[in-house]
Amino acid sequence: QSALTQPRSVSGSPGQSVTISCTGTSSDVGSYNSVSWYQQHPGKAPKLMIYDVKKRPSGVPDRFSGSKSGNTASLTISGLQAEDEADYYCCSYAGADNLFYVFGAGTKVTVL
């Protein structure tokens, strides 16, 4: 089972928007509305930012939004802020008969 495909890096200036794509297959992203996104700052544990494709946990700013079309999910950060600079990982449920969960390789977001 291959990892989900994410761009290695994206960047933007403060206040701009950036979008991170996450491409899977019909066995994972395409089959389930169970895509989640995690933010990880250096040396820290990951933090859940988006679940079930587009839901935000309590406390996550509404600048973060998620979507999905076919086998590709996306995370958009609007109004980019300095503290958004981090690694972002997508994750999809892949079924109990499969890998169960599969992660993307991660995207480094740089705030210029």
Partner 1 sequence: QVQLVESGGGVVQPGRSLRLTCGASGFTFSSYGMHWVRQAPDKGLEWVAVISNDGKNKFYIDSVKGRFTISKDNSKNTLYLEMNSLRTDDTAMYYCVKDLGGGSSSLDYWGQGILVTVSS
Residues that bind partner 1 (CB under 8 A): 1, 3, 32, 34, 36, 38, 40, 45-48, 51-52, 55, 57, 89, 91, 93, 96, 99-106
Q: Which residues contact 2 (CB under 8 A, 6 or more apart)?
A: 102
CB-wise, 13 or 42, nearer to partner 1? 42
For the chain, the straight-line distance linking the first and the last C-alpha, in angstroms and rounded, comes to 35
The helix/strand/coil state of 91 is strand
CB-wise, 45 or 82, nearer to partner 1? 45
Q: How far is the CB of 23 from partner 1 (least distance, A)?
A: 15
